[in-house]
Amino acid sequence: MKIETCDLPTSPARLAAVRDVLAAASRADGVDAFSEQFLLGLADPRAGHRHLLAVEDDEVLGLAACDAASCELVVAPAYRRRGVGTALLGAVDGADVWAHGNLPAAQALARGQGREMTRRLLVMAVEGEQLRAVARYEARDDVEALDLAESVRRHGRDAVEEAWLAANNEAFSWHPEQGGWDRARLSRAQETDWFAEEDVLLLWDAGSPREPRLAGFHWTKWHTEETRAFGEVYVVGLATAFRGRGLGDPLLRLGLQHLADKGADRVILYVEADNEPAVRVYEGLGFHVAEEHAVWSEPAE
């Protein structure tokens, strides 16, 4: 077995083999080994990801994909417990590595290499009657809710997207994946197959119609990869100037109602495990922890 660097976006055969490995791992583990951004980065050179393949006799046994902040790793189910994961983990040069699902085998591999869990990301879900009970948005006089398409018709795409980016980057200035976005990153995000302008909900300040001010946004996602489609609270953020005005709860419910009206019987969201206030809010709405993801890091010297 050898570890080789591969430019996957320009290597169709290797790309197809990697996707087969990821599909097999998803079936075996019940969770995707790669996050959405790393899946997109397999074929999109703009992501700038580095790909390391474990190969034997021209067969792909596993893959590590890395960006500037972290790596994600997968081993084909048929080749596990043969040192493939250890070899890939050693090849990422000490970078933080995600374990999606934080499965026992991944924990054992990471701990066996002296790594420590430094971040936990929870997937929380609400279903059925409880979802319908909380998916109720009550309109307010101080803000107006519009979807992205209607917002663009009223205010122009440049103004809307700049306001959206500003609110996002204020809300997530601390976040390693969601913070620091620019128009190019936002445009790439809108290229995904699932993106729909009707699923991006924006709250505009009703007191400044001539100079539109964005109070916050709720970007929802509609999942169709399962037999019963479901929704996701993809990203929710408030602009700094509008915090402390009681807009967080209605903004969340605005998206939940949109997804319920669309036919969702289940809605998920992702939240950092150490964001205890947010976790309590979601639990109060009936969300429960469905799964978790974790980052494993080499110990600080």
266 is in an annotated binding site: no
Long-range contact set of residues 231-235: C-beta below 8 Å, sequence gap at least 24: 231/259, 231/260, 231/262, 231/264, 231/266, 231/267, 231/268, 232/259, 232/267, 232/268, 232/269, 233/267, 233/268, 233/269, 235/168, 235/178
- 3-state SS of the chain: helix, strand, coil percent to 5? 40, 30, 35
249 is in an annotated binding site: yes
pLDDT of residue 300: 81
d(Cα 40, Cα 59) in Å, to the nearest integer?
A: 22
pLDDT of residue 186: 92
* Phi, psi (degrees; rounded to nearest 5) at 71: -130, 160
Which CATH number is associated with domain 2-114?
3.40.630.30
244 is in an annotated binding site: yes
235 is in an annotated binding site: no
Number of H helices, E strands in the chain: 10, 12
pLDDT of residue 135: 97
pLDDT of residue 22: 98
90 is in an annotated binding site: no
74 is in an annotated binding site: yes
278 is in an annotated binding site: yes
- Name residues of the chain where pLDDT drops below 70: 209
pLDDT of residue 209: 65
Domains 2-114 and 124-291 equal at CATH topology level: yes
Query: In the chain, what are the domain boundaries?
Result: 2-114, 124-291
246 is in an annotated binding site: yes
132 is in an annotated binding site: no
**Residue whose tokens read 């320009």:** 10
36 is in an annotated binding site: yes
88 is in an annotated binding site: no
Record the pTM.
Answer: 0.90
115 is in an annotated binding site: no
pLDDT of residue 132: 96
- Strand pairing report for 71-75 and 97-100: parallel
75 is in an annotated binding site: yes
Query: In the CATH scheme, what is the homologous superfamily, with its name and number, of domain 124-291?
Result: Gcn5-related N-acetyltransferase (GNAT) (3.40.630.30)
